[in-house]
Chains A and B, each alone.
Chain A
Amino acid sequence: MSDPGPYTLCGVVHAVRVTPVRAHDLVTLHAGIERAEPASLFFHLVQPALRAPASRERPPDDLSAWVGGVLQRPDVAERLAHAARQGAGVEERRRSLLAALAKAGTRAAVDEEAAFTFHATDSVLAPLAEVATPEELVEQLACADAAVWFWHLLEEPWRADGPSPLAGWLRAHGAPELAVPFEQAAASTRSLDALRREVVTRWRRTRLARRVAFRHEAPDAERVQQAAREAARLAHELVRRHAP
C-alpha cells in the first residue's frame, strides 16, 4: 500500500454575508432555494452545527427552523428537515428541498421583519498542523477548536462532494474504526461536541485494545518485566500517597 502522506489539519472561519434573496412565504422560499448560490445552501443547511457546537443535539437547519417557527407550518418543516439531510452534494440537496416544498401549498406571507434572509459564507481556511499518523491526528484534534472539528467532520466532505477525505486518509493508515464517525457525521443529528467525544472514545478503545493485544502476544520474559515495572510503579505511588 502506498504511503498516503501527511494530512493538513485546518480550522475554518466563515466570512458571512447577506444576499439579496428573501422569502416571505413558502412560494418565495421555493424560489429562493432555486436560485441560492451553493455557499448560501451550505450556510443554512450545514453551518448551524458550528453555531452551537456544545448543544445536546445538532441545531436544526435554518430553513426548517424558519418554516416551523415563523411560518408556523410544522408539517412542512419536518419534511424540509428530512430533505436537508438527503443527498451527497449540494445540488442533490437542493432538489430534495424543492421536492419537499413543491406540494406544500401556501398561506399568508409574513411581513418584512419576519422574512427569511438568505445568507452565504466565504470559507477561509486556517492551516494548523501537518499530521503523519492517526495518533498525531487525534492528539491534535483532542484539544482543537470547534472550527477544526467542523471543517473535518462536516465542511470538508461537503466541499469534496463525496466521501470524507479525512476518513479516506484514516482508512489508508489502517485506522478504519476512527474513520467511521467522519463518514457518518454529515447524516448524523449529533452535535459537534458529541461527535468529538465519539472520535476520542473510539481512539481510546483502539489504544486499549492494542495494549491488551501487545501484552497477550509479547514473549513471557517481556511480560514478566512489564509486570514488575507496573508493580514497582504502584508501590511507589502507594508510598507517596501515604507518606506523612
Chain B
Amino acid sequence: MSRVPIATGGPSVLDGYRAVVGDGPVRVLEALARRLRDHRLVMVNSTAIGGGVAEILHRLVRLLLELGVPTTWEVMAGDAPFYAFTKALHNALHGIEAPLTDEARAHYHAMNERAARELELNGDLVLIHDPQPAALVLHRRTPGQRWVWRCHVDLSHARPEAWELLAPLVAHYDAAVFSHPAFVPPMAVPAYLVPPSIDPFSDKNRELPEPDVERLLEPFALPDHVPLVTQVSRFDRLKDPVGVVDAFAILRRRARAHLVLAGGSADDDPEGAEVLAEVRARAAGRDDVSLLALPPDAHLVINALQHRSHVVVQKSLREGFALTVAEALWKRRAVVASAVGGIPLQVLHNRTGLLVRSIEGCADAVVRLLEAPELRRRLGAEGREHVRDNFLHTREARDYLAVFLALGAAAPGPAPAAVAAAG
C-alpha cells in the first residue's frame, strides 16, 4: 500500500503549538488553512521510515489535517537498482562524481512511470519531495493541479550531469521549493524558500525527565564523569564522522571528554555500513569514543543523548538543512557546526552556537565551550528561542500553505508532456 496512515488520536497538536509559539502565529496559520479547506494536498516521497523528510512528514501531515486541510501522504516504492541510482544521483547533486548510466536513468524513469500508475495523486496541490519521485510529474500531471517540487538537497555544488538530468523534470512543475537561496540553480520555474522544521512534541524533541534519560542511555554504558561531545547523523561521508574523530583527537590533548557518534541509516541509503567501518577503523584503540548504530526509530535514545551532551557537533561537509542542529538547539544544547548548507540559518555565530570551517576549528570551538559553562548556557537559551521563532512545524506548514496560495493567483502550469524517458 502506498498511502501512509497518519495517527490522529490523542491531544490536539494545534493546542500544543499554541502553548509553545503563542496564539498569534497559530491564528494566522488557521486563517491560511481556511482558504485551502476545499483543496486536497498530496505529499509524495520515497520512504516513510528514516531520514529527515519522513520524520517531518509524519508530523506535518497530522498538523495540516488538524488545521482542516485535507492531506494525504503517498510513498513511492523502489528496488535495489532504483535506490542505487538515486543514491548516486544524491552524491552527484552534492558534487561527488558518481555513475549515472543510461541504463540506470531508464530504470529510474520506468520506476516513476510505474509509481504514477500505483499512487493516488488526484490532489489539487501535489508536493513532490526530492529527486526520487521527481519524474512523476511527466506521467500524472493533469490540468488544474498545482505541482511543486520540494528539494531538500544543497544543489550549489551539483555536478552538471546530475542537474541536467533533473532540470527538464523540474521545468514541468509550477514551482520548486528549496531550504536556502544558495541551493537554487538557474531554473525556469519560480523557486521559493522554505526551510524545514522540527516537531517539539515528538519523541526526539519533547522534554524528558532525568530518570528517563538515564534509563534510555544505560544500555550504552557511557561514562558519567566526563562531558559528552556528540554528533547524531547517518553514517554518511558528507556528515564527516571521520573528521569528527580527528577533531576529537586534537581536543583531547587539552580537555577531558567522551565522544559519541550516533547514527543509523535511512532504508534508502546503501552506504551506511561502509562508512561505519571507516569510522571504527579511525577510532580503533580509543576508549573515549563510542559508536552507536541505532535503528531508524530510536528517537527517544537520540533525545536522551542530546539532552545529556555538553556539546553537540554537526561537522558536515555538505548539508541540506541538518535537522539535528535544530533538535539540539531546541534542547538548549551548545552547538558547534560547519558553516555549510542551511546550518548558518540555525547557528548564528556566537549567538545561538559556534560555526567552524575546519577540523582544527571544530576542536578549538569544542574546547572553548567545555571550558565555559556560562557561554554554553547563553548560547543554548538563545538557540531555543531562535528555533521557536523560525524552525517549528507551524512555520513550515505556514510557508507551504502560502506557496500554494501564491500559485493559485497565477495561471496553471504546462499541460503534461508526451511521455518519454529522458536519457
Contact = CB atoms under 8 A, between A and B. Distances in A.
B25 interface: yes
A14 B23 CA distance: 19
Interface string B20-33: 00111101110110
A20 B186 CA distance: 7
Contacts of B25: 145, 147
A124 B406 contact: yes
B184 interface: yes
Contacts of B381: none
B192 A145 contact: no
Contact of B190 (A17, A127, A148): A17
B53 interface: no
Q: Is the interface of B mostly helix, strand, loop or mixed?
A: helix
B399 A11 contact: no
Contacts of A124: 32, 401-402, 405-406
A20 B190 CA distance: 10
Interface string B295-326: 00000000000000000000000000000000
A148 to B, nearest CB: 7
A18 B184 contact: yes
B158 to A, nearest CB: 14
A126 interface: yes
A143 B23 contact: yes
Contacts of B398: 13
A145 B193 contact: no
Contacts, number: 67
Contact of B27 (A18, A117, A128, A146): A128
B275 interface: no
Contacts of B406: 15, 122, 124
Nearest to A117: B181
A175 interface: no
A126 B192 contact: no
Interface in A45-81: none
Contacts of B23: 143
B24 A126 contact: no
Interface in A77-123: 113, 117, 119, 122
Nearest to B27: A128
Interface in A5-33: 10-11, 13-18, 20
B49 interface: no
A147 B402 CA distance: 13
Given A18-B193, A122-B406, A13 B181 contact: no
Interface of A: 10-11, 13-18, 20, 113, 117, 119, 122, 124, 126-128, 143-148
Interface of B: 22-25, 27-29, 31-32, 35, 175, 178, 181-182, 184, 186, 190-193, 398-399, 401-403, 405-406, 409
Given A119-B181, A145-B24, 11 more contacts: A13-B28, A17-B191, A18-B181, A18-B191, A117-B181, A122-B406, A126-B35, A127-B31, A128-B28, A147-B25, A148-B24
8 contacts: A13-B398, A15-B406, A16-B193, A18-B191, A119-B193, A124-B32, A126-B28, A126-B31
